[in-house]
Structure 1
Amino acid sequence: MTVILVLLTLLAFIVLDALLTRQKASQPAARPQPRPLPGVLQPSYVEGFLVPEALHYHPGHSWLLRERKHVVRVGADEFAAALAGQMAKVELPKPGQWLRQGQKAWTFYRNGEKAEMVSPIEGEVLEVNPEVLAEPSLIREDPYGRGWLVTVYVPDEENTARNLLPTKLVRDWMRDAVERLYARQPQLAGAVAADGGRPADDVFAALPDVSWRELTREFFLS
């Protein structure tokens, strides 16, 4: 009788272990969280706009960070975020969609108008940021952190890099963009926030007579 009881107990443990193993196997693997952007820890500003040095930039005012081999995270830089301002909605490409460098990739909506931005790289979308879809204001509040847009698999990193801004030219490029914006709309100088010359997070709010779509199209190269 004792032997039978021991065998039944052992069998029960084996069955329980098998069930737990199957349950763990059926659960999806946890998706790695995007790592913090190192450039934000060492801020670098150009004409009041944050331009982290650890990132790579496209002339259409998007940035990218290499997460690992062939995988990059992408977003809009602070200049683009300030121009986009108070967005009502953000439309991102879907996972599996192929992006072509320099072609339209995502769209910002505001007051019935839309502004499109081009992709800084060529590759397949792996993931989109669900937080930004639910809360577009994150792009203005934290463009290099929680406001990231997509992660992309880039098979040809070398060719992609050739069409990005050389690191040594990034500061001059951003300075030129800000100067062109202020030259076109001098009243924007008054839209700069008082706290150390930082730009307001919605510069377009100071331009009631300017077409938001035309302004963003010029700087976003779309």
Structure 2
Amino acid sequence: MTLSRTDTQALKILPFSKRPCLHHLEGRIPFKPCTNDYLCDRCEFDQYFCDEYSVHAVLGPVKVLNVEGVQFPHGYYLHAGHTWVRIEEGSMVRIGIDDFALRLLGPVDRIEAPLLGKAVKQGEPHMVIRRGEYRAGVLSPLSGVVTAMNAKLREQGRAANEDPYAEGWVMTLHPQNLRKEIKALMIAQEAESFLAQEVDHLHQLIEEISVPLAADGGTLGTDVFGAMPQLGWERLTRTFLRA
């Protein structure tokens, strides 16, 4: 993701400790808070980094955290209900479901989101995942008014499984209280630690039913529920989606 250096209005309303350096949002460095009010042309670190980066760096995709195959991008915020937030231009945020939840529940048939203009509240199940006869509510990571929804997911839910952090986005919001509510979200190492705990918890549940973990080369598989339905759909969604 690349943000314009002149369009930082949404970022400036965040608490100082949650304001990511633009180089972090662009996937170039680990999380680093901005300490210069996004005045990049007056930032000594920005000047130093740009000088070094222009010589040594090779541009590539945005970096991601990887926890036993579960991916989560740098610069994104994570909610405990396994939804993500990406801050965009014009004081807007984009929201989706994370890789862990989609691996947990497997290929989904459809994902439903509120219609445009609908008000949603942080921590309430405003999104729905459907797989066959199964249904799971998904918590909204922020409060606000829906400004767009990914209609493709209503017919092709697997697009989220295939690309959860880009083409698989669910909705965009005009947030109502971003500065306060973002304190409940995780970023960088905090998000990585949380995902590691969730993977460990899943391992424990699997051990209870004495079934080997479905994995691809030592990583978490792409359809945990499909491989181990004994875990129970309701149990998995209640435990991890927290809805």
- What TM-score do the two structures reach when normalised by structure 2? 0.71
Pairing 1:192–2:211 present: no
Q: CA deviation at 1:135?
A: 0.8
Look up the equivalent residue of 1:145 and give its one-letter code. A
Question: What CA RMSD, in Å, does the superposition of the two structures yield over aligned residues?
Answer: 1.8
- What SS is found at the alignment partner of 2:213? helix
Structure 1 residues 206, 162: CA separation in 2 closer, same or farther (over 3 Å shift)? same
Contact 2:91 2:174 in 1 (8 A): yes
Structure 1 residues 52, 130: CA separation in 2 closer, same or farther (over 3 Å shift)? same
Pairing 1:75–2:96 present: yes
Query: Taking every aligned residue pair, what percent have the same amino acid on both sides?
Result: 29
**143, 149, 155: which is aligned to 1:134?**
155
Q: CA deviation at 1:190?
A: 3.0
What 5-or-longer segments of structure 2 have no aligned partner?
1-24, 28-60
**53, 69, 72: which is aligned to 1:51?**
72
Structure 1 residues 52, 166: CA separation in 2 closer, same or farther (over 3 Å shift)? closer
The separation in 2 between residues aligned to 1:84 and 1:160, in whole angstroms, is: 27
Contact 2:84 2:141 in 1 (8 A): yes
Of structures 1 and 2, the larger Rg is shown by 1
Contact 2:75 2:188 in 1 (8 A): no
Look up the equivalent residue of 1:192 and give its one-letter code. A
Count of aligned residue pairs for this structure pair? 184
The separation in 1 between residues aligned to 2:26 and 2:233, in whole angstroms, is: 32
The separation in 1 between residues aligned to 2:229 and 2:94, in whole angstroms, is: 34
Judge which range, 201-210 or 52-61, deviates more.
201-210
Look up the equivalent residue of 1:140 and give its one-letter code. N
Contact 1:103 1:118 in 2 (8 A): yes
The separation in 2 between residues aligned to 1:42 and 1:83, in whole angstroms, is: 22
Aligned to 2:138: 117
Look up the equivalent residue of 1:57 and give its one-letter code. L
Q: CA deviation at 1:117?
A: 0.7
Structure 1 residues 41, 85: CA separation in 2 closer, same or farther (over 3 Å shift)? same
Q: CA deviation at 1:112?
A: 1.0
Judge which range, 175-184 or 150-159, deviates more.
150-159
The separation in 1 between residues aligned to 2:68 and 2:211, in whole angstroms, is: 13
- What SS is found at the alignment partner of 1:60? coil
Structure 1 residues 189, 43: CA separation in 2 closer, same or farther (over 3 Å shift)? farther
**145, 161, 174: which is aligned to 2:182?**
161
Contact 2:146 2:173 in 1 (8 A): yes
- What TM-score do the two structures reach when normalised by structure 1? 0.77
Aligned to 2:124: 103
What 5-or-longer segments of structure 1 have no aligned partner?
1-36
Q: CA deviation at 1:198?
A: 3.5
Aligned to 2:44: none
Structure 1 residues 189, 68: CA separation in 2 closer, same or farther (over 3 Å shift)? farther
The separation in 2 between residues aligned to 1:84 and 1:63, in whole angstroms, is: 17
Contact 2:97 2:164 in 1 (8 A): yes
Judge which range, 71-80 or 126-135, deviates more.
126-135
The separation in 1 between residues aligned to 2:234 and 2:163, in whole angstroms, is: 23
